[in-house]
Amino acid sequence: MRIPGLSLELDRLQAPLPIWRGSVDADAWQVAARAVAAAGGRLVALWGTDRGWREPGGFAVCAAYALADGLAWLDLALAAEAPIYPDLAIHFPCAVRMQRAAADLLGIVAAGARDTRPWLDHGAWPADQFPLHEQVPAGATAGDTGVVDYAFVRVVGDGVHEIPVGPVHAGVIEPGHFRFSVVGEKVLRLEERLGYTHKGIEKRFTELAPLDAHRLAGRVSGDSTVAYAWAYCMALEAAACFAIPARAASLRALLLERERVANHLGDLGALGNDAALAFGLAQFSRLREDWLRLSKQVFGHRLMMDCVVPGGTAGDVDRAAAERMSRQCESVLLEVQELRSVYDGHAGLQDRFIGTGQVSPELAADLGLIGLAGRASGQAFDLRSDHPWPPYDSLAVKAVTQRAGDVAARVAVRFVELFEWLRLIQAILAGLPAGAHRAELPLRDAPAVGAGWVEGWRGEVFVALELDGDANGQRIRRCHCHDPSWQNWPVLEHAVIGNIVPDFPLINKSFNLSYSGHDL
């Protein structure tokens, strides 16, 4: 892979998707960002790392870009005495919060950044300590050092007032603060504050053996446990230059598609309920519960946690289980088709959905909206069709898109995607290859890197893995897990502008972003 304007030749990683990696200087860092933006590419993730003795200065900032040819992971080494790098937000607005998080966790700073407020640091660690510094033991920075007053942007004018919501909510959702500036009931501005559940996951990875850390990856965000576990295992297998058996790849895809269907069923019921159609919630909740129960019976866990393991899958599927899952797909398809006719024909529901929380395709492209929400605003990105890896390379996955970008479009995408995923599951079950579902993964005794890139149900999940190794084996130096919610949370702030306050829960649910996957 070559990035326009750069003479740098990147190295291909041994991953099933096209992923390259290379090191750049500060000038090339800026040239690459401009070139990727000009080519219509996307910023997938930005993170920092403390490499200690391995490099002069020890610190580095990393960026992963999605281009037509695949993913490019670029490293920029930083001086220890001045760990500063050029700001990427001028090219990719979604970089703002990633850069703020890197400053909180490592002390590396984007030069010229307009927003330098803390993001993940709520005063939980001393200002002169950074949780991801190599010499800082896990948990050493824990402990309340005093609540930091966050400088929300103020909106002033006749009749303008603020409505603070959260971080503790009336339901069971995780904590997040939403500061509304409104006139009457119309929202002029929304500003989010997240990071309340920073858990130290990235530091915890460094204490785990590489062959065990898939379990932690699968707990980054419980509703995406398969996607994260697969992305981690893909990264580990890439670092080991190891290809999993064909049957294992198909079983992983089966697990991922079942995870996708379960979440779509839950969301469609919740969206109906938020628009006062309790019937929708009851019916979709029933379907989801049946779906989860069969997952429990076949795979041993309702959410299929710990089913994806290094080298393949924890268990296999026999013919009887495959037939049960295939029959369930047929049954669910018929019921969802009928429920879609109810949703589409319900005047009250459509009145709440149509035109609410709109994100135009142009705004979506500018802000980097991805995944399910992006496809509802004309952003036709889906790794399974853009860069199909086994078994998706034989399944002809169709990316489902809408252009209206409102709640109705995000609901429509969910319905059509459900029909497509049910088809995929049946195709996977019908074509399961013979052979082993798992093979022993041999690790090297030398430093190695790997990356995993998987289309989760919200959007693309990315894992970057760095391993140190010697005669005593390998250990994790850095594991960065990236959730698509990092890109999409800021877009929610724009989607709510001009809407009324009571529509926010509906708009929020139509995105259904992850707190846990964001607050590592």
pLDDT in tens, 40-53: 999 999 999 998 75
Which segments of 431-484 does DSSP mark as H helices, in order? none
**CA pair distance 97, 82, nearest whole angstrom:** 21
Q: How confident is the model at residue 173 (pLDDT cuts 50, 70, 90)?
A: confident
Per-residue exposure over 175-213, b if at least 16 CB sit within 10 Å of its own CB, e if not? ebbbbbbbeeeebebbbbbbbbebebbbbbbbebebbeb
Residue with tokens 């398809």: 333
pLDDT by residue (tens digit) across 474-486? Answer: 999 999 999 999 9
Pairing of strands 448-455, 70-78: unpaired
- As given in the structure block, the two tokens for residue 489 are 């949370």
Residue with tokens 């930005």: 46
Whether residue 404 has pLDDT greater than 70 = yes
Stretch among 51-60, 118-127, 326-335, 352-361 having the lowest mean pLDDT: 51-60
Which residues does residue 78 pair with via DSSP β-bridges, in sequence order? Answer: 59
Amino acid at residue number 105: L
Whether residue 54 has pLDDT greater than 60 = no
Which residues does residue 86 pair with via DSSP β-bridges, in sequence order? Answer: 111
pLDDT by residue (tens digit) across 364-390? Answer: 999 999 999 999 999 999 999 999 999
Nearest of 50, 179, 198 to residue 120 by alpha carbon: 198
Sign of CA dihedral 376, 379, 382, 388: positive
**CA pair distance 491, 363, nearest whole angstrom:** 9
> Can you list the domains of the chain with their CATH numbers?
1-136 (3.30.460.80)
| Per-residue confidence (pLDDT) for residue 124, from 0 to 100 | 86
Whether residue 362 has pLDDT greater than 60 = yes
Amino acid at residue number 369: L
Whether residue 399 has pLDDT greater than 60 = yes
Nearest of 117, 60, 13 to residue 462 by alpha carbon: 13
Nearest of 400, 383, 381, 373 to residue 490 by alpha carbon: 373
- As given in the structure block, the two tokens for residue 330 are 């047929």
The answer for residues whose C-beta is within 8 angstroms of residue 66's C-beta and 6 or more apart is 41, 42, 43, 44, 381, 460
Nearest of 337, 298, 295, 342 to residue 320 by alpha carbon: 298
Which residues does residue 166 pair with via DSSP β-bridges, in sequence order? Answer: none
**CA pair distance 239, 210, nearest whole angstrom:** 11
Would you give the end-to-end CA distance of the chain in angstroms? Answer: 31
The answer for residues whose C-beta is within 8 angstroms of residue 50's C-beta and 6 or more apart is 58, 59, 106, 132, 133, 134, 478
Whether residue 272 has pLDDT greater than 60 = yes
**CA pair distance 222, 242, nearest whole angstrom:** 27
Sign of CA dihedral 278, 281, 284, 286: negative
Q: Percentage of the chain surpassing pLDDT 70?
A: 97
- As given in the structure block, the two tokens for residue 296 are 């429990």
Q: Please state the rounded mean pLDDT for residues 408-425.
A: 98
Q: How confident is the model at residue 472 (pLDDT cuts 50, 70, 90)?
A: confident
